[in-house]
Chains A and B, each alone.
Chain A
Amino acid sequence: MKARHKRLGLIVAGLLLLVIAAVLITKSFRSNLVFFFTPTQVEKGEAPKSGNFRIGGLVENGSLKRLPDGLHVQFKVTDTAKTMLVEYKGILPDLFKEGKGVVAEGKLNTNGLFEADQVLAKHDENYMPPEAAAALAAAKAAKTKDSSAKEGVK
């Protein structure tokens, strides 16, 4: 009988601990334990002030340019809310394209320029033939035009 009580107590203690674990894990999601930071996070000061870190986002359309020395490239990384200027010397991965995902690793200099040591491409989870992609893009464009037109009416 006594043994049974003890076992019950142990089970309760175990469940309590599991609840604590659950609470802690949900709490940590709101914090910033991540592989990379978005420009917004950098702006808000959540990213490291010193040392290396990674930023991630989309390469802004039309922002990619090669510097006169022919070695460095510059481009802007955006998360649609904020953007950051990145400079990099080296070979870009194949999937690196304007409008696509990117993760750059390096550090922020005093001018707010992000000097990258490494640039990685991050793609999304969509797989489809180019024609389908084109059609989808067209449809999307039409839709936004549509909605903006509606907005104009209002």
Chain B
Amino acid sequence: MKNMETKTGINWLQINWLRYASPKTFYPLAGKLIPWCATCAVLLIVYGLYLGLFVAPTDFQQGEGYRIIFVHVPAAWFSMFLYLLMAMYAGLGLVLNARLSYMMATAIAPTGAMFTLVALVTGSLWGKPMWGAWWVWDARLTSELILLFLYIGYFSLQAAIDDKNRADKASAVLALVGAINVPIIYFSVKWWNTLHQGASVSLMNAPAMAAVMLKGMLIMAIGFWLYSIAVILVRVRCEIVERDSKTTMFRQD
């Protein structure tokens, strides 16, 4: 009786889907992707640095000081983008109850926080010579600082709850609630007049940057993106093993 029920065809799709999303099939797949991403990341970042430090011309306003743009902007972009990605995986986890999805969210957080910190520090280092202040409380800067605090909250919550299942779900709720901050960061310069400059690159308008500068910045950004993917995949693999080793699941096959 019991056996018959498991063999009914209804669960077919479900099982197949779970197979793709299951940590065990994902583990080797991720393993294959990592070296490619890492190599491309190194190449692109080196090329981007070459463009940014050697090829790109001086800026008419900021002189050589503007070169901070090649790290500040990619870091700032990924601080926001990775948060959204994390929130998306977390939300997906809540909806589909998929463990892998939560693991991805967990794996993204440290890299996102790292980029947030980098954006804050490089921004400050840029602000001192250009604006004349390390820090001001304008909307852009404040909301970016809140982003850092949100990442910290995400870790803290996850560390504080040691039932992994619950920790995942609870921090997913937090990630989703905090996602509201990202559009605020992005549009703050438009909505309020801030000391921080407006967007130089946007989907609507032509970029307000010389082509070489833009090229350097975009290449650095893609490099950072590949770096993020590589790091996140390594971390998610660690996560899979660590979680499963506490149980017997990993040993079963």
Instruction: Please determine whether chains A and B interact with each other in the same assembly.
Output: yes
| Pairwise interchain contact A127-B192, C-beta atoms closer than 8 A | no
- Interface size on B (CB < 8 Å)? 31
**Residues in chain A near residue B31, CB distance under 8 A:** none
| Pairwise interchain contact A121-B199, C-beta atoms closer than 8 A | no
| Pairwise interchain contact B138-A125, C-beta atoms closer than 8 A | no
Query: Which of A91, A125, A133 contacts B198, CB < 8 Å?
Result: A125
Roughly how many angstroms separate A129 CA and B210 CA in the complex, as a whole number? 7
Query: Which of B130, B208, B209 contacts A121, CB < 8 Å?
Result: B130
Roughly how many angstroms separate A129 CA and B129 CA in the complex, as a whole number? 19
Q: Which of A22-46 contact B (CB under 8 A)?
A: 29, 33-36
Query: Which of A35, A121, A126, A127 contacts B139, CB < 8 Å?
Result: A35
B127-142 interface bits toward A, Cβ cutoff 8 Å, 1 = contact, 0 = none: 0011111001011000
Is B156 at the interface (CB under 8 A from chain A)?
A: no
Roughly how many angstroms separate A124 CA and B62 CA in the complex, as a whole number? 11
Shortest Cβ distance from A126 into chain B, in angstroms?
5
Shortest Cβ distance from B208 into chain A, in angstroms?
5
**Residues in chain B near residue A152, CB distance under 8 A:** none
Considering only CB atoms, which chain B residue lies closest to A124 in the complex?
B197
Roughly how many angstroms separate A128 CA and B69 CA in the complex, as a whole number? 13
Shortest Cβ distance from A77 into chain B, in angstroms?
14
Q: How many residue pairs, one in A and one in B, have C-beta atoms under 8 Å apart? A: 92
Is B195 at the interface (CB under 8 A from chain A)?
A: yes
> Which label, helix, strand, loop or mixed, suits the secondary structure of the A interface?
loop
Considering only CB atoms, which chain A residue lies closest to B209 in the complex?
A127
Is B97 at the interface (CB under 8 A from chain A)?
A: no
| Pairwise interchain contact A35-B138, C-beta atoms closer than 8 A | yes
Is B191 at the interface (CB under 8 A from chain A)?
A: yes
Roughly how many angstroms separate A120 CA and B57 CA in the complex, as a whole number? 25
**Known contacts A33-B192, A34-B192; A122/B131 CB under 8 A:** yes
**Residues in chain B near residue A133, CB distance under 8 A:** 60-61
| Pairwise interchain contact B130-A94, C-beta atoms closer than 8 A | yes
Roughly how many angstroms separate A96 CA and B133 CA in the complex, as a whole number? 13
Roughly how many angstroms separate A123 CA and B136 CA in the complex, as a whole number? 15
Please report B residues at the A interface, Cβ cutoff 8 Å: 57-63, 65-66, 69, 129-133, 136, 138-139, 191-195, 197-200, 208-210, 213
27 CB < 8 A contacts A-B: A29-B191, A34-B192, A35-B136, A35-B195, A94-B129, A94-B130, A95-B61, A95-B62, A95-B131, A96-B132, A120-B131, A120-B132, A120-B133, A122-B131, A122-B195, A123-B61, A124-B61, A124-B197, A124-B198, A125-B199, A127-B59, A127-B209, A127-B213, A129-B59, A133-B60, A133-B61, A134-B60
Please report A residues at the B interface, Cβ cutoff 8 Å: 29, 33-36, 56, 91-96, 100, 103, 118-130, 132-134
